Structure 1
Amino acid sequence: MSTLNQLLAPGAVNLRGNAATWEEAIRLAGELLEQADATTSEYTEAMVASVVENGPYIVVAPGFAFAHARPSQAVHRTQISWVRLETPVEFGHKTNDPVTLVVALAATDSSTHLEAMKELASLLGNPHVRTQLDAVSTEDELREVLARGGVGTPAAAEQSATTQANSGHAYAADSVESKGKIYTVCGNGLGTSLFLKNTVDQVLDAWGWSKYLTVEATDTISAKGRAKEADFLLTSGEIAATLGDVGVPVHVVEDFTSLSEVDHALRELYDV
């Protein structure tokens, strides 16, 4: 069984969700976690409050929102829920709206769900699999797609964008020595930043640069204090505005699951 299927609570799937607002969409996903006894209602409200505070940074890919909040006593165990909306909902994201798929994560710590996030990011970054996810009609069908998908190779269309990067590297005259670290940043450091970290890791693997660079997912508070330890920060537009000037470049990524967008960002930042 895939890690995603293990964390997807039995019955915590709604493939015909109805919501008029983004708050209602998050609450639909949160209520499924509550019904599975994975969380209390306080956690659902914390997921809503996180977007109120930080903006629609959880909309990490076209049509997809990853709802979550920090671990707390409101979380009984690490689980996810899955909601596909009948009518798309606007979250206020300038490029990835409207949202049709909301996955909610409740985590008891910062590490138990890491493998599942890698799987989910890889699935959503594959257009063929995303089409299947948008077409399933039952929980069993959804679980079959999740089980088949796993962590595989990037979609062919995007993989081709990463295979040329290691063919040679001419540094600009004003280049400085790398610190060997990249931070991906989100509000809580355990959800959307992991999506972005996974995509960055895939690009660096394709380049053959993984042995030279460490990619670390972190939260806004930690990023502000430790930014100068990294070459640069990758994050959403909303989190970038929260971070402000941290002494190193902060680059905005719109689609956290897009290998081609991250590939382009790294080429620009590393002058490849």
Structure 2
Amino acid sequence: MTALTELLSPDAIALDVEADDWQAAIGAAGALLTSTGVATAEYTTEMVDAVLEKGPYIVIAPGFAFAHARPSPAVLRTGLSWVRLARPVAFGHTANDPVDLVVALAATDAKAHTTAMAELAKVIGDADRRAALEGAQNSAEVMEILEGVGAAAAPVAAASAAATPADTASAGSRRTNNKILTVCGNGVGTSLFLKNTLEKVLAEWGWSPYIEVEATDTISAKGKAKEADLILTSGEIAKALGDLGVPTTVIENFTSTAEIDAALRANYDV
């Protein structure tokens, strides 16, 4: 069993679910959280309200929505649900619609599920596993596929064996604080996805010892922005943040090492 499958029970998996729109899709995922004792029905309302308030920032990869809300009294324990839709639905995301897979997270805090999120990010970013999940016939098959999350991802090109962030930050034209913020609406879900993928790229570059990555929410990010070299986030959250005085880069696919690699190269002049 992995950290991911410890949070996802077979009873919280539903395949080929009929949903007319994104609200119904989130509703189906929330109903599974309720039926498995992870959260109360109020948490489903909170997940829908988060999208109504902030936009479709939870659609973080093509065809994939990661529904969640802030930790609240409606969360009884940390857990996940998994809904594969019979027909894709639109969430309103310009790049990643339509969505055919909704995974919902209910978390008691922002830290307990970080390993599981790293494993889930590997699954969603792996084309072969996504294809296998689309063809899974039952919840047991889904669990078996998820248990195989340890396969290595394709490496990204190293920036330079000798270069460091201080060497490359705008070719020395600006000071580097050696910190990057990944930001989402609640700080417990999509920002962790982005953090995991970013840290994978930094490790490939050999920059892990130099750069701290912090996943945070929009409110906290406004206070922490001056500590950072760069903010990575979704288009919807970037609009909510406004101009914080540091570069903000919109990432469309939170599981894409190639997209994040390009963002780092542009911001650090690599």
Q: Contact 2:158–2:206 (CA<8 Å) still a contact in 1? A: no
Change (3 A) 1:180 1:18: same
Matched residue type, 1:190: V
Match of 1:248 among 241, 246, 264: 246
Residue 183 of structure 1: how far off its partner (Å): 0.2
| Residue in structure 1 matched with residue 218 of structure 2 by the alignment | 220
CA distance in 1, matches of 2:223, 2:175: 21
Residue 167 of structure 1: how far off its partner (Å): 4.7
Residue 232 of structure 1: how far off its partner (Å): 1.0
Matched residue type, 2:46: A
CA distance in 2, matches of 1:58, 1:173: 35
Q: CA RMSD in A?
A: 1.2
Equivalent residues in 2 for 1:66-215 (5 A)? 66-150=66-150, 152-154=151-153, 156=154, 159=155, 162-167=156-161, 169=163, 171=168, 172-173=170-171, 175-215=173-213
Q: Contact 1:182–1:231 (CA<8 Å) still a contact in 2? A: yes
| Structure 2: 5+ residue stretches without partners | none
Deviation track 1:73-103 (CA, whole Å, cap 9, x = no partner) reads 1111111000000100000000000000000
Equivalent residues in 2 for 1:5-16 (5 A)? 5-16=5-16
Change (3 A) 1:163 1:173: closer
CA distance in 2, matches of 1:153, 1:199: 13
Give 3-state SS (helix, strand or coil) of 2:147's partner.
Answer: helix
Change (3 A) 1:173 1:267: closer
Give 3-state SS (helix, strand or coil) of 1:121's partner.
Answer: helix
% identity of equivalent residues: 56
CA distance in 1, matches of 2:132, 2:171: 47
Give the number of equivalent residue pairs.
266
Give 3-state SS (helix, strand or coil) of 1:165's partner.
Answer: coil
Residue 135 of structure 1: how far off its partner (Å): 1.2
CA distance in 1, matches of 2:245, 2:251: 19
Match of 1:257 among 252, 255, 268: 255
Equivalent residues in 2 for 1:32-47 (5 A)? 32-47=32-47
Q: Contact 1:10–1:36 (CA<8 Å) still a contact in 2? A: no
CA distance in 2, matches of 1:121, 1:206: 17
Query: Is 121-130 or 236-245 further displaced after alignment?
Result: 121-130
**Regions of 4+ moved over 3 Å:** 167-174
CA distance in 2, matches of 1:144, 1:173: 48
CA distance in 1, matches of 2:194, 2:172: 28
> Is 2:54 aligned against 1:64?
no
Residue 112 of structure 1: how far off its partner (Å): 1.1
Q: Contact 1:15–1:138 (CA<8 Å) still a contact in 2? A: yes
Change (3 A) 1:173 1:198: closer
Q: Contact 1:95–1:254 (CA<8 Å) still a contact in 2? A: yes
Change (3 A) 1:174 1:149: closer
Matched residue type, 2:157: T
Q: TM-score, normalised by structure 2?
A: 0.96
